[in-house]
Amino acid sequence: MLSQGFVAAAAIAASVLFILSLGGLSNQEKAKRAVWYGIIGMAVAVFFTAFGPGIGGYWLMIPMIIIGAVIGARLARRVEMTEMPQLVAALHSFVGLAAVFVAWSADLERRRVLAARAADGVMQDFSAFAALVAHKAPDELAFLQVEVVLGIFIGAVTFTGSVIAFGKLAGKVDGKPRQFPGGHWLNAGAAVLSLLLAILYLNGAGFWTLLVLAALAFFIGYHLIMGIGGADMPVVVSMLNSYSGWAAAAIGFTLSNDLLIVTGALVGSSGAILSYIMCKAMNRNFVNVILGGFGGTQGPAAEIEGEQIAIDANGVASALNDADSVIIVPGYGMAVAQAQTAVSDLVRKLRAAGKEVRFAIHPVAGRLPGHMNVLLAEARVPYDIVLEMDEINDDFASTDVVIVIGSNDIVNPAAQEDPNSPIAGMPVLKVWEAKQVFISKRGQGTGYSGIENPLFYKENSRMFYGDARESLTALLPMVD
């Protein structure tokens, strides 16, 4: 059994490693090292927490750790990069549910302690958790009730919200916003009832209040995320990441675990900041998004004129051979087709021919921030030609050819031209200003968000239909 001093020192070390991990993930070149910081920090956290003072039940804990590690390793090997957003959402749900269970357990132990004190009895069958609660003073037990309420509410909202986010990202739940009749009033009513139940519980009501509170919070999480459309799902995943952090912090207070408090606060605050940054990048109101799209645009969308004109590999290759400057815009379709290697091969061939080739990355390209950057790094695309939207958006007007690979909303001119569009005002990559635009796409569908894209009908745009990897592979031999 390790002393409390060792555990405290380990908590500081793990916290520093987590901070270094978060900081390093903002840069492609440092990202791999940052991941190792996070891995080492979590290993330190788990080890020193498991063998800290007052911890027992190893006959159950160690098998559970082994089982969890095996499941995690198998998932990590099986999950494709395209499935990472839904995996992240699923992992958030586990944190939320754990917060609910820990909060329930804490209240049951609190009631046992109070009953024993009232009877002037001494509890002999202390578990580590019960002993933790038993050593709390009366005012600390009162504060524990506040922690329990917060843990249950935040955890339950996180759990069902993350489950629905997983379903939408995985295509198992319709990506369109859907709510019950009454919409936001149902959410508001459930929130008010949750507050009343919390007040009843804090004033001595029974355990039933926590069960009903959890049920209401489960509903709020479900209904909130069901009411958010596919275009806002990247923000939702980031927002749920923040919720899971605050749920973990609430558990940390309940368990008197400093490391869990610090880690939860780091995740919660960084997730909230990222959500705000993403909302700004998408011209979304942060409060509107987290309330389920409240106050969205109204009115009929503008009619689209023209037709989608297809082009074959020969036509695209001819345009590339004549071009001096090329910009590639990757999207989720590139990830689905696993076309990043073919894209990298095309870039090397074009650059060898003396052409200027760059990538334009929208802040929410894919379904998570940095999604495209990671894929391009895996394919060994040079960092210096991968540019963010603000760095390259003004260059499209002087570019000969733009190749869009599986993107929809981030290159949709309706964001700037149609005030009634669901993405009205969202900053987008102005690819239509280039001389020629080729869109690599499987078919004529509207994409994940269900929003029609006028880009596909413009005179300087051509549709390069087919699987992105197969299309680009067929294109390579034709490029000089």
Contact 27, 388 (CB under 8 A): no
Amino acid identity of residue 250, one-letter, is A
76 vs 197 pLDDT, higher one? 197
Q: Which two tokens stand for residue 352?
A: 């060898």
Global pTM? 0.76
The pLDDT mean for the chain works out to 83
65 and 112 share one domain: no
Confidence label for 314 from pLDDT (cuts 50, 70 and 90): very high
The residues facing 388 across adjacent strands are 361
Amino acid identity of residue 274, one-letter, is L
Name the one residue in this structure whose structure tokens are 């912090």: 249
Whether residue 299 lies inside any domain: the answer is no
Confidence label for 238 from pLDDT (cuts 50, 70 and 90): confident
Name the one residue in this structure whose structure tokens are 């940054």: 277
3-state secondary structure of 327: strand
40 and 163 share one domain: no
Query: By CB neighbour count within 10 A (0-12 exposed, 13-18 middle, 19+ buried), where does 1 fall?
Result: exposed
- Sorted by sequence, the CB contacts under 8 Å of residue 329 that are 6+ apart come out as 359, 360, 362, 365, 402, 403, 404, 405, 407, 410, 411, 429, 431
Q: CB 464: neighbour CB atoms within 10 A?
A: 21
Q: CB 444: neighbour CB atoms within 10 A?
A: 10
The tens digit of pLDDT for each residue in 343-377 reads 999 999 999 999 999 999 987 777 666 778 778 88
239 and 336 share one domain: no
Tell whether the model's pLDDT for residue 97 goes beyond 80: yes
Q: What is the pLDDT at residue 296?
A: 47
3-state secondary structure of 448: coil
Q: Which two tokens stand for residue 265?
A: 């606060």
Where among 78, 111, 133 does a domain terminate? 78
Of 409, 418, 467, 480, which residue is the catalytic one?
A: 409
261 and 276 share one domain: yes
296 vs 200 pLDDT, higher one? 200
33 and 130 share one domain: no
Q: How many domains does the chain have?
A: 3
What b/e string do you get for 405-434 counting C-beta neighbours within 10 Å, with b at 16 or more?
bbbbbbbbbbbbebeebbbbebbbbbbbbb
Among 327, 330, 439, residue whose Cα is nearest residue 375: 330
The tens digit of pLDDT for each residue in 266-293 reads 888 888 888 887 777 667 777 766 665 5
Q: Which two tokens stand for residue 185?
A: 């009033």
Q: What is the pLDDT at residue 444?
A: 67
Least confident of 38-52, 173-187, 205-219, 335-349: 173-187
Contact 292, 227 (CB under 8 A): yes
Confidence label for 131 from pLDDT (cuts 50, 70 and 90): low
409 is catalytic: yes
Half-sphere exposure of 295 (CA within 13 A, CB side): 8
Q: What is the pLDDT at residue 372?
A: 81
Where among 46, 78, 110 does a domain terminate? 78
Q: What is the pLDDT at residue 231?
A: 62
219 and 331 share one domain: no
- Sorted by sequence, the CB contacts under 8 Å of residue 73 that are 6+ apart come out as none
Query: By CB neighbour count within 10 A (0-12 exposed, 13-18 middle, 19+ buried), where does 443 fall?
Result: exposed
The tens digit of pLDDT for each residue in 382-439 reads 888 999 898 999 999 999 999 999 888 889 998 888 888 777 778 899 999 999 999 9
356 and 373 share one domain: yes
Q: What is the pLDDT at residue 27?
A: 64
